[in-house]
Amino acid sequence: MTSTPDTLSRIAILGTGLIGTSIALAAFRAGIEVAGWDADGDVLARAGSSGSLTAAATLEEAVRGADLVVVSTPIGAVAEVAAAALTAAPDAVVTDAASIKSRIVDDLEALAGDESRRFVAAHPMGGSERSGPEHASASVVDGIVWVIAPTERTDQHAVALVDGFVRRIGAHPVHLTPERHDRLVAFVSHLPQVASTSLMGLAVTEEVDEPDLLLLAAGGFRDLTRLAASNPSLWSDILLGNRDQIADAIDLFTTRLHELRAQILRGRAADVERTFDDAKQARLRLATKPQVRSGVAVLQVEIPDEPGALARITRVLGEGEVNIEDLQIVHSPEGGRGTVHLTVGAPSAELAAGVLRGGGYDPIRLA
Amino acid sequence: MTSTPDTLSRIAILGTGLIGTSIALAAFRAGIEVAGWDADGDVLARAGSSGSLTAAATLEEAVRGADLVVVSTPIGAVAEVAAAALTAAPDAVVTDAASIKSRIVDDLEALAGDESRRFVAAHPMGGSERSGPEHASASVVDGIVWVIAPTERTDQHAVALVDGFVRRIGAHPVHLTPERHDRLVAFVSHLPQVASTSLMGLAVTEEVDEPDLLLLAAGGFRDLTRLAASNPSLWSDILLGNRDQIADAIDLFTTRLHELRAQILRGRAADVERTFDDAKQARLRLATKPQVRSGVAVLQVEIPDEPGALARITRVLGEGEVNIEDLQIVHSPEGGRGTVHLTVGAPSAELAAGVLRGGGYDPIRLA
C-alpha cells in the first residue's frame, strides 16, 4: 500500500454492470487505468465496449497491479468477491459500492479476518433507473455523495486512498460508520421504497372491488408510487441485508401513522393541523437544501404560462452554451404554475444564472 | 328547475377562491353568465378582476336568477352556505366542490330537509398548489374528472343539469355514491397525503439525532415527501371530514407495512420479492393509464443526452404551434435518461405527434 490518491494509477472493477462501468468511465476520464472482470462474460464484453476498461479473463488477472479494487457486484456476492480480491492482491486496497454496509463488513471479517483491514466499505449514492454497462456514464457518479464507512479496525491509509479516489473522479465523500450509514439510508431510502410499494400494493388490491379507484389516481398518488416500479430482487437483497434498521424504521413510521389516525378519529383538528404544519415546514426547508447530487445546482425561474415559453428559455440557455441536466415544470406545493426548476452542473451555475438574467429572467438558486 | 344543460344561462359561485374562480372562468368561456359572492370582500374583489364574474353584495343577490349555484367555500362552510342558497333560490339546483361528500350530504339534509333533493354533491378533482382567485384559470378544470355524487333522494333532473354543466365547461363527469367517492379518495388522495406527511415528520424527528440524515435524501425521498408541503388547515378539514374512511385506509396500509416487515425480519426473500414484483407490475400498468386530467395527452419521446437537445424539441413543438402543458425529463424507474414526457391538451395530441415525427422524433402516446 505505497500508493497515494495522486499516484494511484491503476484500479480493478469487479462487477461491470451499470455502477461498475460508470465508475470505470469516471476513473478513465481522470487518467486512471482500469481493468474489469465480471462473472457474466456477456456483461463484461459489453462493459469493454465502453472503451474505459480492459476486460480480464479472471478476477486474479483483473486485480494484478491494481492499487485499488472496487467490488460492484450484486449485494449477495460482495463479501465473497472482496475476500477473493484481498487474497489475490495482497498490496491493494479493496472497496465496494453496495447499498448496505454493516452486513457486508461483518461477512467480510468472517471470511478474511485481519486482511479485512484493507477493505473500506463504501456506498456511491448514485445510480440510474436503467441497468447494464451499456447505460453506464461518468455522469452517474458526477458530484454524488459517496459514503465511506470504515470500521475502527480499517487501515487509515486505505481510507485516505479511497477518499482521494472519490474526490479525484468527481464525487463527494461523506464519512459515516457502517451502522450510521445503514440507519440513515433506512429512513431516507429504504423506508420511502417500502411505503411506495405498500401503497401501490394496497391500491391494486382495493381496485379488485373498486374498478374506478385508479381513475381517480392523480399526481400525488403517482408521485408516491413511482418508486414502486423499482427492481424487486435488488430491493429484496437490500431490505433483507438491512433488516434490523428497516424493521425499526417501519415501526416508527407505523407508530406515527397510528398516532395521526387517533388524532383524526378523535376529531382533534388542532393536533392534526400541527402535525401537518410541522411536516410542511420541514419539507419547505428540505426544498432549499442541496440534493445528494451536490455537483449540480438547481435554479428556479418563473416563466410565462404561454406557448413558446419553454422553447424560449431552452434556446436562451443553449445559445449561452449551458448544458441543462434536468428541467422540471414545478407542480409541487412550494412552487407554482409557470415555475421551472433547471438543474445544471455546479460549475455552470454562475454561467447559467448570468445567461438567464441576460435573457430577461430572474433566476433563484435553490441548491 | 325548468332549465336544461343547454339552456342554462346563469350560475352563481359562492366562495370565489382558486377553484370557484376557475369554475367561473370556464363557465364564462362557455358563454354562461356568472355572479359571484364570497364572505371575504377582498377575495371577492380579486375574483371580480378576473373579468369572469359580477361581484354580488350578498349571497341572496348572487343566486338571484341563477339556474345553478356552485358552493366552493372551505369545507366547514359548505353545508350552511348550500342550505342558505336552497332557501334563497327556490328554483335553482345547488352543487358543491368539496373534497369529501358523505359528511356534507348528511349535514345538509339535517339543515335543509326535503329541499336537499335539489342539492347535487360533487367534487371537481382539479386544483393547483396555489390558492386565491388571482391564480385561477379555466385550465384548472379543463378535462379533469368531476365526481358527481347524488344520493337516492337527489332529484334526477338536478343531477342531469350538473352533469351537463360539467361537460359544457370541458370536464369529465364520473358518477359515484357519496360513500364510494369518500372510500376511493381515502385510498388515492388522503392516504398518500397522510403517508407523505408522516414520512417527512419522522425524518425531521430523526434528524435531531442525525444531522446528516437529509444530506442523504435523494430523489425518492423528495418524491415521497412533496405532498407534505400541502395546506395544513385544508387537510385537517378533509381528514376529519372523512375520518372513518381514512382510519380504515391507514389500518390497511399499516397492516401491509407490518406484513412486509415480518417477511423482511424472517428473511423470506421470495415473499419480499413477490410483494415488490406485484407492486411493480401494478405501477407499470398505472403508467399507461390515463391521468385524472383526461383532457390531456402524455407523449414519451427519447432525446439525445446532449446540450441543445431540449432546446431543439421545444423549438420544433413551438414552430408547430403545439402548446406544451408540461415537460418532464424522466428519471422514474419505468423511464430512462434522455426520455422526456410531454403533456399536451388531448385535442393537440395528434398534432403534437405529427410535429414530433416531422422533426425526426419517435413519440409514444402514454395517456
* Alpha-helix runs per DSSP H in chain B: 18-29, 41-48, 59-63, 75-88, 102-112, 156-168, 178-185, 191-207, 219-225, 232-241, 243-265, 269-287, 309-319, 349-358
Q: Give the residue with greater pLDDT, A207 vs A43.
A: A43
Beta carbons of B218 and A125 less than 8 Å apart: yes
Predicted confidence (pLDDT) at residue A99 exceeds the cutoff of 80: yes
- Going by the DSSP 8-state scheme, the letter that residue B290 receives in this structure is P
The answer to whether B364 and B324 are in contact (CB under 8 A) is no
Write out chain A residues lying below 8 Å of B246, CB-based: 261, 264
Beta carbons of B257 and A261 less than 8 Å apart: no
Task: Please provide the DSSP assignment of A290-323 as one string.
Answer: PPS-TTEEEEEEE--SSTTHHHHHHHHHHHTTPP
Beta carbons of B195 and A199 less than 8 Å apart: yes
Amino acid at A239: L
User: Is residue B219 left, alpha or beta, with left meaning phi > 0 and alpha meaning psi from -120 to 50?
Assistant: alpha
SS3 assignment for A5-33: CCCCCEEEEECCCHHHHHHHHHHHHCCCE
Amino acid at B6: D
pLDDT band at residue A155 under the 50/70/90 scheme: very high
Mean pLDDT of chain A: 88
Which chain B residue has its CA at the smallest distance from A192's CA? B221
Span B148-202, pLDDT tens digits: 999 999 999 999 999 999 999 988 899 999 999 999 999 999 999 999 999 999 9
* Stated pTM of the model: 0.78
Beta carbons of B218 and A293 less than 8 Å apart: yes
Write out chain A residues lying below 8 Å of B143, CB-based: none
How far away is chain A from the Cα of B61, in angstroms, using its nearest Cα?
34
Write out chain A residues lying below 8 Å of B183, CB-based: 210
Is residue A197 classed as helix, strand or coil in its secondary structure? helix
Look at residue B337 in the predicted model and tell me its pLDDT: 47
Span B249-296, pLDDT tens digits: 999 999 999 999 999 999 999 999 999 999 998 888 776 654 444 455
pLDDT band at residue A130 under the 50/70/90 scheme: low
- Mutation target for B interface from A233, A283, A293: give the one with most B CBs within 10 A: A283
Predicted confidence (pLDDT) at residue A326 exceeds the cutoff of 90: no
Is residue B68 classed as helix, strand or coil in its secondary structure? strand
Write out chain A residues lying below 8 Å of B321, CB-based: 307
How far away is chain B from the Cα of A16, in angstroms, using its nearest Cα?
19
The answer to whether A348 and A322 are in contact (CB under 8 A) is yes
Write out chain A residues lying below 8 Å of B200, CB-based: 279, 282-283, 286
Beta carbons of A212 and B130 less than 8 Å apart: no
Amino acid at A197: T
Q: What is the mean pLDDT of residues A188-200?
A: 95
Beta carbons of A216 and B326 less than 8 Å apart: no
**Polymer length of chain B:** 367
Which chain B residue has its CA at the smallest distance from A135's CA? B337
Which chain B residue has its CA at the smallest distance from A268's CA? B240
Look at residue B287 in the predicted model and tell me its pLDDT: 64
Q: Which of A194, A236, A256 is closest, CB to CB, to B198?
A: A256
Span B63-116, pLDDT tens digits: 999 999 999 999 999 999 999 999 999 999 999 999 999 999 999 999 999 999
Q: What is the mean pLDDT of residues A39-47?
A: 97
Q: What is the mean pLDDT of residues B32-48?
A: 97
Which residues, other chains included, contact B251 with Cβ-Cβ below 8 Å and sequence gap of 6+?
Answer: A261
How far away is chain B from the Cα of A50, in angstroms, using its nearest Cα?
16
How far is Cα A295 from Cα A349, in angstroms, rounded to an integer? 10
For chain A, where are the E strands, in sequence order?
10-14, 33-37, 54-55, 68-71, 93-96, 119-120, 122-124, 145-148, 172-175, 296-302, 324-329, 339-345, 364-365
Span A58-81, pLDDT tens digits: 999 999 999 999 999 999 999 999
How far away is chain A from the Cα of B358, in angstroms, using its nearest Cα?
17
Q: Which of A228, A284, A310 is closest, CB to CB, to B327?
A: A310
Span A77-90, pLDDT tens digits: 999 999 999 999 99
